[in-house]
């Protein structure tokens, strides 16, 4: 198909298609005998993948390119592709609230969480720095210690990671499509998780205000 047809079937403007090609997100089409360029189903799928990641995650086009590069670089090794993709899409956060005590409280809280889950040696410095920065600002604002919540979050994260990998291993890890699916699904699930948590909060708050019992459980305290 010509570039105009590719644009029509994907809903991506021609100018955007050309931009993706220039930036290396989309491969060049195949030159034909009539001096035109033809695009196939692979180009259609790649465009749909780029658009999906752009619309369902908070990734920039530059980050999406890095994710696609990681998928290509580690095709056949899902775990390396996933680790590389998570690293390049990690959002670094630096503490903004000035406080003498808060950073120490945050460091202690983060180290306790990492040690409790045996994550210390596996945690990249950037990831630890983000945790410390967020909790440091939290404590600097005068908010109370919240180990119960952070422990629940860490437990949930561990369960989700294990479930992700069990699903991936059940499908198989040796193909280009499996690598793409594994990486994309984990990135997209971050939006799903955030939205589901908002729904859960909305439902829990409504039940709490009315004293209604949770399905299969006791009334909200």
Q: Which two tokens stand for residue 56?
A: 């369902």
Q: Which residue has the higher pLDDT, 159 or 172?
A: 159
Q: Is-contact 160 193, C-beta < 8 A?
A: yes
Instruction: For residue range 126-166, list pLDDT tens digits in order.
Output: 999 999 999 999 999 999 988 999 999 999 999 999 999 99
Average pLDDT, the chain: 91
In the chain the domains, ranked by start, together with CATH numbers, are 1-56 (1.10.1660.10), 57-210 (no CATH)
Mean pLDDT of 113-133: 96
Q: Is-contact 128 119, C-beta < 8 A?
A: no
Q: Which residue has the higher pLDDT, 217 or 138?
A: 138
Question: Which residue is it, tokens 């729904």?
Answer: 199
pLDDT at 137: 94
Mean pLDDT of 80-104: 91
């Amino acid at each position: 198909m010509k570039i105009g047809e590719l644009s029509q079937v994907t809903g991506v403007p021609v100018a955007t298609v050309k931009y993706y090609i220039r930036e290396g997100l989309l491969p060049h089409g195949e030159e034909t005998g009539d001096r035109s360029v033809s695009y196939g189903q692979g180009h259609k799928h790649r465009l749909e993948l780029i658009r999906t990641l752009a619309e369902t995650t908070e990734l920039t086009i530059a980050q999406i390119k890095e994710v696609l590069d990681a998928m290509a670089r580690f095709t056949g090794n899902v775990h390396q592709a996933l680790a590389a993709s998570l690293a390049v899409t990690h959002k670094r956060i630096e503490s903004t609230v000035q406080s003498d005590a808060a950073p120490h409280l945050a460091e202690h809280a983060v180290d306790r969480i990492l040690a409790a889950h045996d994550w210390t040696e596996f945690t990249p410095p950037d990831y630890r720095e983000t945790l410390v920065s967020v909790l440091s600002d939290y404590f600097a604002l005068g908010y109370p210690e919240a180990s119960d919540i952070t422990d629940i979050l860490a437990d949930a994260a561990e369960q989700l990671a294990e479930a992700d990998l069990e699903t991936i291993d059940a499908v198989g890890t040796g193909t280009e499509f499996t690598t793409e699916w594994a990486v994309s699904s984990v990135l997209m699930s971050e939006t799903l998780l955030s939205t589901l948590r908002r729904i859960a909060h909305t439902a829990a708050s409504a039940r709490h205000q009315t004293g209604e019992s949770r399905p299969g459980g006791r009334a909200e305290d």
